[in-house]
Amino acid sequence: MPLTIISQAQLRSLLLSLTRDEIITLQQNLAQALREYSTGNQENGCAATYQPQRTAITRRNGCTTLFMPATTGRTLGIKTVSLQDGGAAGCAVDSRPDISPDDKTASRSHRHRDSMSSLASDISDLSTSSQEGGSGNSSSRTSSSQSLPSGCVNRQPVNTGMSSTMGAWPSAGSRDTSPQGSLTLLDKKSMPFGLINAHELTPFRTALTAMMVFGKRKRVRTIVVFGAGKQAYWHIRLALVLRGSDIKRVFIVNRSFDRVARLLQDIYSPENSSWRGDVKFSAVSSDFGEYSRILHNALHKADAIFCCTPSIKPLFPAEMLTSREARKKGRLISAIGSYKPHMTELHPDILRDEVDTHHSHRHFHKHVKRSGVIVVDSLEAALKEAGEIIQAGIKPKQVVELGELLMVRYAVQDMAEEDEVSKGLGEWVQRGNVIFKSVGMGLMDLITGEDLVRLARERQLGTTVEDF
């Protein structure tokens, strides 16, 4: 069995060589997997029911390693990431709600298969109602508050203060570092066929997912990006590759101006001229004397906002998006940088404002209607790990998975005529206020990694061991 090994440098070279059509194909395959994840149909190997539990181990030297297994029904994968977080030695396994298989299936598929029109209606009620109070999503899935099972490493007991995220990331107040790791891919016979350095894979597949909603937006002239690392780079690059002819202005906001300067130096290198186009870039640093005014102006103009920082406090005041003036415009707001309960890029009031569809102040003329929901990649993971969701007190019925939205769009394509429900959903996705919160899933790494191994072999990149 041949095994293809792709190093960090080789993977970056491969990703930079991808054409627009190849990126779209990768995105379509990932979208299919996310639809299957959300269906609850046990005939689909990507369904959430089949996804294995995660495990985290913290060794005596303070290094925490997270194991993220995933399956498609055909292939298996396990992403392993480690970072030095100084935690106490111990291990933990991801805990899930105590739901029977039948109940778990019903909770995910009640909007699917039995009545496709009901599915579209439910999601549309969630998405477009402003005066009736959209709750719509009657999913019975709940987050887990159970304590983690016991375990030991180096003869040390589990740290009793370990969080519901399995101690996989640093505790509040500790210094974050960029995690290092790899993705191992196994075929249907459980034989390894791919080994990929995950340092560049993680930000790429995250940006690929965020672009699913971005690609459907009607207006994307102005983009604001918080952060200047790999996540920011791939969000900018994929946005311009996919919608470059529509984008006129990109604001990059970061605490360190020097880091933004280095990012812009990369973007303006000659080899990037083909996708950079004539877009005007502006660097914004919190060190600027008129930072608040400049930021307010950028957010006021923004059609899309990408938050790509591991921030533990809101990046900007809620009023910049919830004021009477700000609410005249619909925006795509994507928050993907925070991945722990104590972290938050968006002020909780921004999320509360989005899901509160009852308040009287919503009836101002020309205001964009609030959807009543927050879009996430995984409901269970978001309720346990997403600081924005947790701190805002968002309930399960106020959350809809990206895969569920994709299910509706897929179903509408098969309808003979587009009804009012599907029109309302389409209008919201294209022009409304959409907040997307992602914490990442092993399934996303597996699907994208499998495609990248195939492309690497076609390009003769990486190292292939024929008789591994």
Question: What pLDDT sits at residue 41?
Answer: 75
What is the pLDDT, as a whole number, of residue 249?
97
| CB-based contacts of 19, cutoff 8 Å, min separation 6 | none
**pLDDT score, position 361:** 47
* Domain assignment present for 9: yes
Backbone angles phi, psi at 411, to 5 degrees: -70, -40
367 DSSP assignment: P
Centre a 10 Å sphere on the Cβ of residue 5 and count the other Cβ atoms it contains: 18
Task: Please state, as a whole number, how many other Cβ atoms lie within 10 Å of the Cβ of residue 244.
Answer: 17
CA atoms of 245 and 20, how far apart (whole Å): 13
Q: Is 336 helix (H, G, I), strand (E, B) or coil?
A: coil
Domain of residue 24, residue span: 3-94+198-458
pTM recorded for the entire structure: 0.83
Distance, CA of 61 to CA of 45 (rounded, Å): 38
Ranges in the chain, pLDDT < 70: 85-87, 95-179, 358-367, 409-422
CATH number of the CATH domain containing 8:
3.40.50.720
| 182 lies in some domain | no
Classify residue 262: in a domain, yes or no: yes
Place of tokens 């937006």: 217
Amino acid letter, residue 274: S
Cα 436 from chain centre: 7
Cβ–Cβ contacts within 10 Å for residue 270, how many?
7
Is residue 160 included in any domain, yes or no? no
Give pLDDT, residue 126. Answer: 46
Asked, for residue 112, whether it belongs to a domain, the answer is no
Task: Give the count of domains, the chain.
Answer: 1
Assign residue 40 a region (left: φ > 0; alpha: ψ between -120 and 50; beta: otherwise): left
Please give the full DSSP string across 390-453, using - where no structure is assigned: HHTT--GGGEEEHHHHHHHHHHHHTSSS--HHHHHHHHHHHHS-EEEE----HHHHHHHHHHHH
Q: Is residue 183 part of a domain?
A: no
Record the tokens describing residue 114, joined without a space.
Answer: 């039995």
pLDDT of residue 421: 61
5 and 195 in contact (C-beta within 8 Å)?
yes
Using only the alpha carbons of the chain, give its radius of gyration: 22
H helix runs in 141-229, sequence order? 201-214
**Quick check: is 188 in a domain?**
no
Is the sign of the CA dihedral 88, 91, 94, 98 positive or negative?
Answer: negative
Residue whose tokens read 């024929």: 466
**Which among 219, 244, 230 is positioned nearest to 302, based on CA atoms?**
219
Question: Looking at residue 94, what is its pLDDT?
Answer: 75
Assigned token pair, 124:
């549309």
